Structure 1
Amino acid sequence: MTARQDRFLGLSSAGFHHVAFLDWGDPSSAGPVTICVHGLTRNSHDFDRLAAALADHGRVICPDVVGRGASDWLANSADYGYPQYLSDMTALIARLQVDAIDWIGTSMGGLIGMLLAAQPNTPIKRLVLNDIGPFIGKAALQRISDYVGLDYRFSSVEALERHLRKIHAPFGPLTDQQWAHMALYGSRKLTDGNFGLAYDPRIADNVKLGIADVDLWSIWDRIACPVLVLRGADSDILSAETAQAMTERGPRASFVAFPDIGHAPALMSDDQIDIVRSWLADHR
């Protein structure tokens, strides 16, 4: 199965921009519509294997958050933040013309999903959070800040892949094919013939401002839909304590941890995909 590439218009302080997305499955299907949203520096192709599996019984939409992948870069870097991301994803939902969606979000994508799911009359009916929760400690955010936004240059896609293997080692034991897939879609050709990462380095501008603990428990407690929380057992972004508390308050989430993985499970292995697919099927 292959995806269709499409795009829609979002609006920022500097004007309109295009947001790209991959559209998997049959648009006329009566099955569920699932939106999968990636992490801070990643892109829609992180979900290719998961989307293909879920599209057997519905439609799966995987956007490139603005500034990443095939989406436009924003003229004003100050707009790279959750108000803009929420606005764009609301426009995407409107474009799909559906009243109910499932949401799968890795890290940043999960935070976007949490913020949308907590709103009155939300269209999100089932929420899967991949290695993210309502509390993130300052030290973990500092670790991410230290490497995000550096304007790397690589002589080849293979050299870029070696960088990804180091930076994203916590994703877990991926195959050579999966690393190559991440490098292929996570790279962009530069005018000097070298390769850069497939995101605007300026997405880090807001990340690096006033790094402090993030506390969204008040948001979490407003979520009413069923929630599945996935955690890399070695994650520093989603602590074991926070994950446990997520099962005890608010929507009282289901919880699965994956051993020998940090931030964040790649959702490319059969066992991870089966857990997500089975949970969604059980909660319809």
Structure 2
Amino acid sequence: MRRNRLRFMLPHGFFTLAWTEWGPEDGAPVLCVHGLTRNGRDFDALAAALAGTGRRVLCPDLPGRGGSDFLPDPALYVPPTYVAALSHLLARLDGPVDWVGTSLGGICGMAVAATPGNPIRRLVLNDIGAHVPKDSVARIGDYLGQATEFADLPALEAHLRRVHAPFGALTDAEWHHLAETSARAAPGGGVALHYDPAIALPFRGAPAQDMDLSPLWERVTAPVLLLRGADSDLLLPETARAMAARPGVRLVEIPGCGHAPALMEAGQIGLVAAFLRGTGLGAGG
């Protein structure tokens, strides 16, 4: 695993985007983009497996998370900002790329894949689709408002086990990994979650509303692997089925998971790897 950084520009100035990278530098690139409160280290198991097949895997920390800079204005914590930051990384790669996006990372992937001349060859959408119901948006806003500082790492891990229980039946080692890679030293002692608490502010101040991402989805032409946690409240069954009715889209439901499958289990990793090899595309799932 290698750690890298680049500078990207927003109207407010230049900021740093950090990412971890796996596999040979001349390998065909895969970009793995995490969910709202997570970071690129969530993909360590998937990245190691794909790197073992010769792929170059890049796992960025979105702005305000992990090793990337926090932003000066909370209003910047929205998908257009994240896409702008990631576009600098795509420009550095300067060629075709496969994209694996969990939740927010999938929204960013759809936005890029919907843009004329985009470099996305294959797109994995992990529990995100063309429509997000307002109840799910409200639920996310609720846990964003919870405490972000803890007395010690076990307390932080207990928090993650509670709010991210829908990730599925992770092992103790996997939960510990998520905790270790989600922690930073808190100013007053103890540990804090790795993200800027200000990412919660765009969720506040107005009632939750349905998110209609269909204008993006309708312009995506790359082959798509659509993963749905069987108990997900964010990617509803009817939304997933409607998306899977389109040619070039394969839907797979992951049992024992809600929002969103962690992509740490061998079977889930195998689904993604097969699809990126071009051997896992077909109707249904």
- Which TM-score band (shorter chain)? over 0.9
Q: 1:25 corresponds to which letter in structure 2? A: G
Aligned to 2:160: 164
Aligned partners of 2:205 and 2:100: how far apart in 1? 27
Judged with a 3 Å threshold, the aligned counterparts in structure 2 of structure 1 residues 75 and 149 are, in CA distance, closer, same or farther, namely: farther
Measured on the aligned residues, the alpha-carbon RMSD in Å equals 1.3
Structure 1 residue 275 corresponds to structure 2 residue 271:
yes
Q: Deviations over 1:195-230 (max 9, x none)?
A: 111100101111234321011212111111100000
- Alpha-carbon contact 1:68-1:198 (below 8 Å) kept: yes
TM norm structure 2 = 0.95
**Alignment counterpart, residue 263 of structure 1, candidates 259, 263, 267:** 259
Query: After alignment, is 13-22 or 206-215 more displaced?
Result: 206-215
- Alpha-carbon contact 2:243-2:249 (below 8 Å) kept: yes
Aligned to 1:83: 80
- Secondary structure at the aligned position of 1:158 is classed as helix
Aligned partners of 2:90 and 2:250: how far apart in 1? 25
Judged with a 3 Å threshold, the aligned counterparts in structure 2 of structure 1 residues 209 and 115 are, in CA distance, closer, same or farther, namely: farther
Q: Deviations over 1:50-104 (max 9, x none)?
A: 00011122100000000001111001111111111110010011122x3100000
- Alpha-carbon contact 2:222-2:248 (below 8 Å) kept: no
Aligned partners of 2:225 and 2:213: how far apart in 1? 17
Listed as ranges, the gaps of 5+ residues in structure 2 are: 281-285
- Secondary structure at the aligned position of 2:234 is classed as coil
Listed as ranges, the gaps of 5+ residues in structure 1 are: none
Aligned partners of 2:204 and 2:277: how far apart in 1? 39
Aligned to 1:125: 121
Structure 1 residue 5 corresponds to structure 2 residue 3:
yes
TM norm structure 1 = 0.95
Q: 1:104 corresponds to which letter in structure 2? A: V
- Alpha-carbon contact 1:149-1:202 (below 8 Å) kept: no
Aligned to 1:243: 240
Q: How does 1:1-284 map to 2 (within 5 A)?
A: 3-29=1-27, 32-56=28-52, 57-96=54-93, 98-210=94-206, 211-249=208-246, 252-282=248-278
Q: Deviations over 1:99-144 (max 9, x none)?
A: 1000000000000000100111110010000000010000010000
Aligned partners of 1:13 and 1:150: how far apart in 2? 31
The aligned length equals: 278
- Alpha-carbon contact 1:36-1:62 (below 8 Å) kept: yes
